[in-house]
Amino acid sequence: MRSLASISEPRDDKVEKEVGLLMAIALGELTRRAQFHLGDLDQEVWSKELLQSFLSEGLRRLAPVLLREGATSVDITSSASVIALPSSDLIVYVLRAWSSTEELPAWRHFHDELRLASPVSQALTIEVEYLGGWQDFSDGTCELAPWQSDSIVFYAVSRAFREMARNRADFRRYSTITNQQVEQADIERLADVWEKDFERARQEARHPRQLHYEQATLERG
């Protein structure tokens, strides 16, 4: 394991942020990155399962600061003036709604509904593009650009240190394994530093489309 001094500050890589580039990031890869930052590749202090639970928690905590782009389809009946949005999509902002069959009336997003200015004249399939919250890892992956995924790794590292600082047995074991005289306050400080880095990273990882929407909303008052 690395010494405490070598893991006292989060990594600050300079990564080119490619707009719109999303890929499936494997949970196993994120776990290894967290283990590397913790200096615990051999899982002597934190189990893989525990770190993965922290990564899942971090993924859910990205919202409402960093939102996921998504799309869904909703079928509505003739004369409908309210479109119920799927709650499972965790929709925060609706970016666009349309039908290939008929032009939609003006609409307003309110909670989990789109409210139309007037009823539609026929049954329609509505396509909805949105920004929403993050689900748990699906099939062991999540759709984050590489430069966005750092945020949940930072969160997992912070949670790991925070959890250890609260558990005297784990704290003593860590001190023994690293052969260092480490105070509880040192571990708590590390947790604070990594948590701040998580907050910074999820702010910086927002997609330009989200920033544009939020700025337009602010200007509309």
What span, in angstroms and rounded, lies between the C-alpha atoms of 174 and 65? 33
- Count how many residues are written for the chain: 221
pLDDT at 11: 41
- Starting from the edge strand earliest in sequence, which strands make up the sheet with 68-76, in order? 68-76, 124-132, 91-98
Identify the sign of the CA torsion 25, 29, 33, 38: positive
Q: In terms of Cα–Cα distance, which of 57, 13, 65, 28 is closest to 152? A: 57
pLDDT at 30: 95
Decide if pLDDT at 155 tops 90. Answer: yes
Q: How far is C-alpha 5 from the geometric centre of its chain's CA atoms?
A: 29
- Choose which CATH entry (1.20.1250, 2.60.40, 2.60.120, 3.40.50) describes domain 68-132: 2.60.40
pTM of the full structure: 0.79
Structure tokens at 163: 């959890």
Identify the sign of the CA torsion 111, 112, 114, 120: negative
What span, in angstroms and rounded, lies between the C-alpha atoms of 59 and 56? 5
At 180, the amino acid letter reads Q
Domain ranges of the chain: 20-64+136-220, 68-132
Highest mean pLDDT: which of 44-48, 58-62, 180-184, 214-218?
Answer: 58-62
In this prediction, what percent of the chain has a pLDDT beyond 70? 88
Decide if pLDDT at 76 tops 90. Answer: yes
Q: How many CB atoms lie within 10 A of CB 220?
A: 6
Which of 2-11, 144-153, 210-219 comes out lowest in average pLDDT?
2-11
pLDDT at 179: 77
Sole residue written with tokens 């949005």: 85
> 74 has which bridge partners?
126
Sole residue written with tokens 């399962």: 49
Query: Residue 221 — very low, low, confident or very high, per pLDDT cuts 50/70/90?
Result: low
pLDDT at 196: 97
